Amino acid sequence: MNVHGKHYRTIWLKEDDDTVVQIIDQRPLPHKFVIEDLHTVDDVARAIKDMHIRGAGLVGATAGYGMYIAALHAPKDSAEAFTAQLVADGEKLKATRPTAVNLEWAVHRQLDAIAAVGDNIDTKIAAAKNIAQTIADEDADFCRRIGEHGVSIIEEISKRKNGEPVNILTHCNAGWMAFVDYGTATAPIYAAHDRGIPVHVWVDETRPRNQGARITAWELNEHGVPHTVIADNVGGHLMQHGMVDMVIVGTDRTLYTGDVANKIGTYLKALAAHDNGVPFYVALPSSTFDWTKRDGVKEIPIEERGADEVKYINGLYNGEVVSVLLTPADSPATNYAFDVTPARLVTGLITERGICDASEEGVLGLYPEKRK
Ligand code: MRU
């Protein structure tokens, strides 16, 4: 990703001190670009829970680096004490956000790799560092490949429209900032734009934290992709009037049966798309698949966040990012952060291995090694 023309990832080890992890703090975006240092497991847990970073892939990559930091600080007197501390730190990280499956996936990948290298503590720390970097590199590579597969769908629609701009609606931010680079929902969009295929993106604002209005719009702006921010309730109207050619969203957990958990409001967009014959695609790396559950509505844990995220709204005032009260001070509010879109409403899944149906046969066809 490019910010003011300079290439960044969303997370990296500090150049002159590889015991420090650096992230882009997403809270003040798009108004301020702030880089934050993370030194301890508590810093990492806070960064995930309070959403300094966010998005399925980046939450996973941050947990991977968090386990490396845990390894640096764990007791070194015995392999047992070292491992016990890592398991405890892994639990602490996993408790920060329940819906994104990449978080537990990254923690367990680290614990398995650290256990596999024997009892020497220095070797274990080196393994943790190596796996953290590998998770980040894989995330970026998988997202790039998602772009290469997904661009074919946009290309086809563009041909059908004789080169008229392809109108794509997206919800939340499944872009650069939700991953290590490229993004998932945005990767095919960037690939199309870079190949000269005219695209225009309808950006759902995505209340309550406005990841669309703040972050997706900022990214598209930085990359020069034509886009328009819309209030969350507009998509259905646009679809009824033929103003949306396709929807692409990301996901925080997708079951191998095809049910998709994503940012709250995604389900309503899928219903509107279904009613209007608009193709509805979900883009994800394989780290976001949950291979254990079958029924998304019944089995996926849905994170509930604080009421203040609904009651207050952030914005720029006199050069400072401030928070203002939106509702009557005494009105209660509730804040479900995700919902589940049943597989029957999903046209296809765009993965690093290709595009498949949102069904058990489709997913296992692409990932045959996961057949039980
Ligand atoms: O609560 P967030 O911002 O971490 O939500 C996760 C997401 O980024 C979205 O649900 C996104 O659409 C999924 S793809 C990372």
What pLDDT, in 10s, does the model give residues 159-173?
Answer: 999 999 999 999 999
Rounded to the nearest angstrom, the distance between the alpha carbon of 79 and the centre of ligand 1 is 36
**pLDDT higher than threshold 90 for residue 372:** no
For residue 59, the ligand 1 atom closest to its alpha carbon is 4
Whether 268 maps to a domain, the answer reads: yes
For residue 250, the ligand 1 atom closest to its alpha carbon is 14
Kindly state if the Cβ of 187 falls inside 6 Å of ligand 1. Answer: no
The DSSP element (H or E) to which 14 belongs, if any, is: strand 11-14
Collapse the DSSP code of 338 into the 3-class scheme (helix H, G, I; strand E, B; otherwise coil) and give the result.
strand
352 and 204 co-located in one domain: yes
**Boundary of a domain, candidates 138, 164, 195:** 138
Q: What is the pLDDT of residue 113?
A: 98
Residue nearest to atom 8 of ligand 1 (CA): 55
In this structure, are residues 111 and 67 in contact, taking their beta carbons and an 8 Å threshold?
Answer: yes
92 and 170 co-located in one domain: no
**Boundary of a domain, candidates 138, 159, 176:** 138
- 285-320 in b/e form (b: 16+ CB < 10 A) is bbbbbbeebeebeeebeebebeeebbbbbbeeeeee
Task: Name the token pair of 271.
Answer: 């219903």
**pLDDT higher than threshold 90 for residue 2:** no
17 and 99 co-located in one domain: yes
Q: Which residues are catalytic?
A: 252
Rounded to the nearest angstrom, the distance between the alpha carbon of 338 and the centre of ligand 1 is 8
Whether 264 maps to a domain, the answer reads: yes
Q: Cα separation of 242 and 76, whole Å?
A: 63
pTM, two decimals, is 0.95
Q: What is the mean pLDDT of residues 222-227?
A: 96
158 and 126 co-located in one domain: no
Kindly report, residue by residue over 149-201, the tens digit of the pLDDT. 999 999 999 999 999 999 999 999 999 999 999 999 999 999 999 999 999 99
Number of domains forming the structure of the chain: 2
Task: Name the token pair of 346.
Answer: 């999903």
Q: What is the pLDDT of residue 273?
A: 98
Kindly state if the Cβ of 263 falls inside 6 Å of ligand 1. Answer: yes
Q: What is the mean pLDDT of residues 219-232?
A: 96
264 and 182 co-located in one domain: yes
94: containing domain: 2-138
301 and 352 co-located in one domain: yes
Kindly state if the Cβ of 287 falls inside 6 Å of ligand 1. Answer: no
26 and 129 co-located in one domain: yes
Q: Cα separation of 247 and 34, whole Å?
A: 31
Rounded to the nearest angstrom, the distance between the alpha carbon of 163 and the centre of ligand 1 is 31
Distances (CA, A) of 270 to 85, 90, 202: 43, 35, 15
Whether 143 maps to a domain, the answer reads: no
Q: What is the pLDDT of residue 264?
A: 98
Count, residues in the chain: 372
User: Which of 219, 168, 169, 173 lies closest to 192 in space, CA to CA?
Assistant: 168
Q: What is the pLDDT of residue 81?
A: 96
* C-alpha 281 chain-centroid distance: 15
175 and 131 co-located in one domain: no
99 and 132 co-located in one domain: yes
Q: What is the pLDDT of residue 19?
A: 98
**Boundary of a domain, candidates 138, 169, 201:** 138
Q: What is the pLDDT of residue 4?
A: 86
Kindly report, residue by residue over 17-57, the tens digit of the pLDDT. 999 999 999 999 999 999 999 999 999 999 999 999 999 99
Whether 193 maps to a domain, the answer reads: yes
* Cβ within 8 Å of residue 5, ≥6 positions away: none
Tell me the DSSP string of 245-299: SEEEE--SEEETTS-EEEETTHHHHHHHHHHTT--EEEE--GGGEESS-S-HHHH
Place 5 in a pLDDT band, splitting at 50, 70 and 90.
confident
Q: Any idea what the CATH number is for the domain that residue 358 is in?
A: 3.40.50.10470
In this structure, are residues 24 and 214 in contact, taking their beta carbons and an 8 Å threshold?
Answer: no
Residue nearest to atom 5 of ligand 1 (CA): 55
Q: What is the mean pLDDT of residues 80-90?
A: 97
Query: Which among 97, 172, 341 is the best mutation to test ligand 1's pocket, defined by most ligand atoms within 8 Å of the CB?
Result: 172
Collapse the DSSP code of 164 into the 3-class scheme (helix H, G, I; strand E, B; otherwise coil) and give the result.
coil
Rounded to the nearest angstrom, the distance between the alpha carbon of 252 and the centre of ligand 1 is 6
Kindly report, residue by residue over 282-326, the tens digit of the pLDDT. 999 999 999 999 999 999 999 999 999 999 999 999 999 999 999
